[in-house]
Structure 1
Amino acid sequence: MNQFQGKSFLKELDFTGAELEFLIDFAQHLDDLKAKNIPHEYLKGQNIALLFEKTSTRTRSAFTVAANDLGAHPEFLGKNDIQFGNKESVADTAIVLGSMFDGIEFRGFAQSTVETLAQYSGVPVWNGLTDEWHPTQMIADFMTLKKHFGVLKGTTLTYLGDAKNNVAHSLLITGAMLGVNIHIGAPATRQPEAAVLEKATAIAQTTGSQILVTEDAKLAVKDADALYTDVWVSMGEDVDYGERIKLLLPYQINMGLLKATGKAETIVMHCLPAFHDHQTTIGKEIGEKYGLDALEITDDVFQSQQSVVFEEAHNRMPAIKAIMAATSGHLFF
């Protein structure tokens, strides 16, 4: 039987650690099939709605290519194409879309929106990102970690920077569920929400995962197998960039901090986009204003042999493919 069939993928806590690791391994299998040009049209004949309240590069591309590879037809609906609760309630929209589509992806702000879509649509709904959680990213991230180290349990991943966001929260919960040690290096005001940390700590006690949250960046990276960071200001967040930069600069992933792990084989991860140089409008503007060549990660680390950021970005596609196929593909596991 397939325990995933018909189930939505809204947040990591809805699954077990074993189920998440199965999806990671299934994603690697599907990636191998694609590399060998072996067809895997598990969603042949299906129609998939892609709802985007927030803009996207990797999530939209990954869902589109994954759907096509699986034999499905993806239909993009941006914030100007659909009401998103303005003229029609989310529940009413969900019922309508569920009557026409076989699966729905949502990327936007409120977790309650994706939960409502799942409640009323009657088809699998996949969370492409909300302000609370980023579960499809996690399958790709831990797939990347497992590919490099062969195992997940007992490895150590350190997240640095703004840890009061969806990526840091998802890493904490998912890492704890998979038995991965999660270290967080962040200033006191940007550390994970207490409720998330409490939940992750409780899970870690059952899996053997070690959780460390500290203001000391060097302590956080000691013995880490992977360093991970994200942008210092999340999409839609209204903050003083100068204050945020001053607060988070000690947590910038640079060569000094990378060497402080004490391990030559440490990999470097970033969910992208990254302000590692001045080749973007925002990166150039902020960099010149505050006299910085880079923000959360320096270019020499980003471009280094230890950086796996583009492999990680590629893995979004097989990860999303595995999630869609497992939940909507009528597969037998």
Structure 2
Amino acid sequence: MAALTTRLPELNITDAYSDQNSTNEMQCIDFRDWYWLTRHQPVYLLIITTLGIVLNAFVLLVFCLHKKACTVAEIYLSNLAAADLVLVSWLAFWAAIMEKPLNWDFTVALRGVVKLGMKINAYCSIYFLVLVSIDRYLALVHPMSYGRMRRPKYAKLGCLLVWGLGLLLSASMLILWAVSRGEMVELVWDGMLITFGFIIPISINTFCTITIIRALKKQSLARSNAQKSEQKATTLVLVVLVTFLICWVPFHFMTAINLLYRTEMLVGCDLIKFVDIFTPIITDLAFFNSVVNPILYVVVGKNFRKKVQEVCKQCGVSTVTTTSTRSNTSAPLNTFM
């Protein structure tokens, strides 16, 4: 039984970003009922890591190798892929940490870096979607008034600001965690994640999404090619946004429940069992979002599939050109042999 209880803290919702052990949990939960989930957690994380790295790297390669410059929406989506790549790159370390007992050999600094990578993804992913939603809002609702704002240089500046915001919010709490690992630091950490990583960005996305849907309904059936292209991009963005909500809303809901529990606003063994049993599943669902996004680009994004085909043709043409050039340069030598 002792071996089972030592692994539980690695699965708490706050332990994906913090360390916490609770005596009440040990008294309320029979760990043998769900230890199979703890045992298979590292395997699942390694699968997510492999798929996430391959798929998100593929998306970034397509955007980078394509001969045409990325549109504003593609700049945001490429940065979203980069944020997902950051997350899945660190999940392998997290899986290794979970496999170790409490006296694992990793340094505290490495564990802090893993948490930093996860936090950056949690903040940056949602704010890249905020930028995408605002771009779709301007493109469909105010195409004439704010058209100048939809420029690649402004999009790149916005992405830099998002990366900086994610790093600032994550690093500030990581420093507090390193200096003082008290309960208050953990509460502030979760409170910031819920406020700045969910409530504020989701409110912006909800407003933009509702307005965009209304604008699409009002538009006539006779649309220009430019409008059709904008709508294709909007469809992809809406699907990505809905998928993000499906994967991350339960995570933030459970974070809020856990926050209320640790402040003793909610108590009871039933609550503890609910949080500790469903937390691993909900956390895995949130991580799975980093694998789903690249798949959505291929399945839903017609423009992205077109880019993939063009990149393949481009690479094929370059290969043929290189081969023909080599054969032409070697032809005179063959005539003398």
* TM-score (structure 1 length as normaliser): 0.25
Q: Which has the higher helix share?
A: 2
Q: Which has the higher strand share?
A: 1
* TM-score (structure 2 length as normaliser): 0.24
Higher CA-based Rg = 2
Bigger relative contact order (CA 8 A; separation at least 6) = 2
